[in-house]
Amino acid sequence: MRTMQTLTDTAALARNRARATVDFLHQRARDDLQERLEEVNRTFTSAALVTPRPSLWQGFPAARTVPDAETLDLAPGAHDLLIHDLSLHWANDLVGQLVQSRRALAPDGLFLATLFGGQTLNELRVALAQAETHVTGGLSPRVAPMAEIRDLGGLLQRAGLALPVADSDTVRVSYPDLPALMRDLRAMGEGNALDARLRRPTRAAVLRHAAEIYAEHFTGPDGRLTATFEIITLTGWAPSADQPQPLRPGSATARLADALGTTENPRDIPQD
């Protein structure tokens, strides 16, 4: 049964993914995570991988691989590393996925995740919205509402993860025309799987007008269409007594002015 809170039609998403082939953006995200792990001075012995694309990670020494189901099949405190692979943007409960990931980590375990961020496909979003409004007088959901990077650090903290970091990699890809972009999205398994999507084929007039708008506003110097993909990486640690802790407010033992070699000029405090 569908509810008003449901973002993603999970059956449609599974169909889209079943038809997908491995693509360069998912490979790019995977390679970036592997590079980050190489920079961590730690040997992980009980890793877990949450991914809808296990074939992409062949050779990665994960102790356990599970799909990105709404309830993750992971035991509490069982892993010292958990990777959530480029799928959180489809989660019906993003915070719930983060909380479950946190619970699956042992103390001082590392959480790494990638997801598409809010700047992703902003050009396509604009073109389709303007075209559909002009042709039909209405508007249907076509591009998933993706999280903004400014909000994600707070969500990591809300999930109970320490030392949270969110950073982004913006990738701009060029296409000869709009159908080529649509084909690439289908090849990624990233077609429209929104629960509230239009359940009948899009009118040809809408697609033609969207192509015109896209070409008018989002064409590069080479005459090709530009599409933006924002890949956000989340990093956090399961809390541990061994981790660095912030000082209590007012507990500093040295002044910033002394460290900088400057003279402190306090502001006048207004009196009541």
Written as six digits, the tokens of 207 are 């697609």
Q: Could you give the domains of the chain?
A: 10-241 (3.40.50.150)
pLDDT in tens, 121-151: 999 999 999 999 999 999 898 998 899 999 9
Closest by alpha carbon to 195, among 75, 45, 90?
A: 90
Considering only 57-61, 67-71, 108-112, 146-150, which range has the smallest mean pLDDT?
57-61
Q: Please state, rounded to an integer, the average pLDDT across all residues of the chain.
A: 89
Question: What percentage of the chain exceeds 70 in pLDDT?
Answer: 86
| Per-residue confidence (pLDDT) for residue 254, from 0 to 100 | 57
| Per-residue confidence (pLDDT) for residue 241, from 0 to 100 | 77
56 and 30 Cβ atoms separated by less than 8 Å: yes
pTM (2 decimals)? 0.85
Closest by alpha carbon to 101, among 145, 22, 150, 160?
A: 160
Average pLDDT over residues 94-98: 96
Closest by alpha carbon to 183, among 227, 126, 127, 213?
A: 227
229 and 121 Cβ atoms separated by less than 8 Å: yes
Written as six digits, the tokens of 162 are 């320490």
| 262 compared with 196, residue with greater pLDDT | 196
Closest by alpha carbon to 142, among 48, 228, 207?
A: 207
**For the chain, how big is the Rg over CA atoms in Å?**
23
| Per-residue confidence (pLDDT) for residue 249, from 0 to 100 | 53
Confidence category of residue 85, pLDDT binned at 50, 70, 90: very high
Closest by alpha carbon to 58, among 22, 91, 111, 98?
A: 22
**In angstroms, rounded to a whole number, what is the distance separating the alpha carbons of residues 43 and 41?**
7
Strands 162-175 and 105-116: unpaired
**In angstroms, rounded to a whole number, what is the distance separating the alpha carbons of residues 11 and 242?**
43
